Amino acid sequence: MKRTIFPYLVLAPLILLLIVFLVLPILGSFVISLLDYNPLRETGNTFIWFDNFKRLLGNELFGISFKNTLTYVFIMVSINLVVTLLIAQLLTTLSSNKWRSLFRVLLFMPCVAPLAAVSVIWQKGILPTKGGLLNIFLSNFGVAPINWLGNASVLMPSLLIVSLWADIGYNIILFISGLQGIPQDYMDAAKIDGAGPIRRFWQVTFPLLGRTFSYVTAMTLISQFQAFAQFSILAPGGGIARAGYVLSTYIYDMGFGNKDMGFASAISLTLFLVILVVTLIQQRVNRVDWGY
């Protein structure tokens, strides 16, 4: 199309909004991270330059939450991808459209609920040691009650279960549509070659799903790094032995609990950097030939 000023007219207000509500806050966050900053006071917010970042090094709680965040995201994304892909594959195999959409709808339902509500239901109804549905269920198999939120080695798995429950619906839908987009010819050809279902999956389905897979991975990664509600409700203050402390809750506690906003900003910028790096790595690793 010929050159006009139309694009600039359209984009100017949008970019202005983005600048005010995204770029300025990021820059602001950077400036704050260089300050000894308490927004309550009018004076005394002095520049301490990189002291807040220096404090990160060797800070025990930062170390713990950094490690927990990476562990959580890595395990969460892996399990999420495997489980959702498996469910999607099974649901695609199902030949009844009616049943498939019923299951798909049910599995997606938690995704429309606020995570805060989901977390509260799990906290009050499912996970309690005594009277929680999970322990009641397990007791049928002779399992002694487990303290899901009060045992340092079980806390993170509990959080993973809650997050998975709340989140798998999206990816199941995405994978089902990805799987349905694979031309049947490829499958038939592989079948004729005598490939079993597992080999067919690895040699045909998986490579052809590359694009969906890459998209799903990136989206899940980015959103899980920022997971907040379930951690703040199920593991306040990091929970037992701080086993459920992640960067998002640590930032909130430092900023609003300790009122140390400079330090909180330094952590949040670190989180941003981590997300950026991990996403870039993921994009490299998952680089696929688009289209078939």
Partner 1 sequence: MRKWTRKTTVDLVLIVFFSVFCLVFMMPYVRMILDSFKTRVEVMKANTFFPSKFILDNYQSVFEKTPIWNWFLNSLCTSTLVTVVMLFTSSIAGFVFAKYSFKGKQVIFWFIMATMMVPAQTTMIPSFLIIQRLGLYDNLFALVVPSLVGGFGIFLCRQFIEDIPDSMVEAASIDGAGHMRIYFQVILPLIKPALSALAIFTFLGKWNDYLNPLLYLSDTRRMTMPLALSFFTSQRQSDIGAVMAAATLVMLPVTAVFLAFQKQFVRGISITGMK
Partner 2 sequence: MKKLLSLFLVLMLLLSALPALGEGVTTVKFWTHINEAWNASYEGLIAEFEAANPDIKIDYQRFPYDEFEAKIQTSLMAGSAAADVYEVWGGWMLDFASQGVLSETPAQFAADLENDAYPPVLGALKHDGKYYGAPVEFNIEHGAMIMNKKLWEQSGMPYPTTWNELIEDAKKVAVQDGEAMTMRGFGYANGDTLIANFLALILQQGGQYLKEDGSVDFNTPEALKAMSMLVGYTADDHINNFDAITNGDVQGDHIMVALDESYGCIRGPWVISDLEQTYGLVMGVDFDYIGQPPFFEGVEQKFAAETGWSLCVAKNSTVQDAAWRFVEFLNQPDVLVRHNIACAQVPPRKSVAADPAYLAGAPYMAPLLDKLQYSEFIGPFNTDIIKSYMNQTFMALCSGDHSEEAVKAALAKMTEDLAQNMKIY
Under rule CB under 8 A, residue 114 binds partner 2: no
In angstroms, what is the minimal distance from the CB of 162 to partner 1? 9
| Non-local CB neighbours of 184 within 8 Å, separated by 6+ positions | none
Q: Which residue number, 132 or 169, has a Cβ lying nearer to partner 2?
A: 132
In angstroms, what is the minimal distance from the CB of 60 to partner 2? 7
Distance CA 257, CA 255 (A): 6
User: 186, 204 in Cβ contact below 8 A?
Assistant: yes
In angstroms, what is the minimal distance from the CB of 200 to partner 2? 45
Residue type, 282: Q
Q: Which stretch binds partner 2 (CB under 8 A): 13-21, 67-75, 148-156, 197-205?
A: 148-156
Question: In degrees rounded to 5, what are phi and psi of residue 183?
Answer: -60, 135
Q: Which residue number, 161 or 240, has a Cβ lying nearer to partner 2?
A: 240
Under rule CB under 8 A, residue 133 binds partner 2: no
Distance CA 292, CA 288 (A): 11
Distance CA 267, CA 271 (A): 6
Under rule CB under 8 A, residue 230 binds partner 1: no
Under rule CB under 8 A, residue 271 binds partner 1: yes
Candidates 211, 216, 201; CA nearest to 181 is 211
Q: Which stretch binds partner 2 (CB under 8 A): 79-87, 94-102, 139-147, 188-196?
A: 139-147
Q: Which residue number, 69 or 242, has a Cβ lying nearer to partner 1?
A: 69
- Pattern 42-71, partner 1, x by CB under 8 A: ------------------------------
The interface partner of residue 41, options being partner 2, partner 1, none and the CB cut-off 5 to 8 Å by kind, is partner 2
Grouping H, G, I as helix, E, B as strand and the rest as coil, residue 209 is coil
Count residues near partner 2 (CB under 8 A). Answer: 35
Residues in the chain: 292
**Secondary structure of 130-179 as H, E, C letters:** CCCHHHHHHHCCCCCCCCCCCCHHHHHHHHHHHHHHHHHHHHHHHHHHHH
Give contact residues for partner 2 (rule: CB under 8 A). 38-42, 60-61, 123-124, 127-131, 135, 143-152, 236-237, 239-242, 256-259
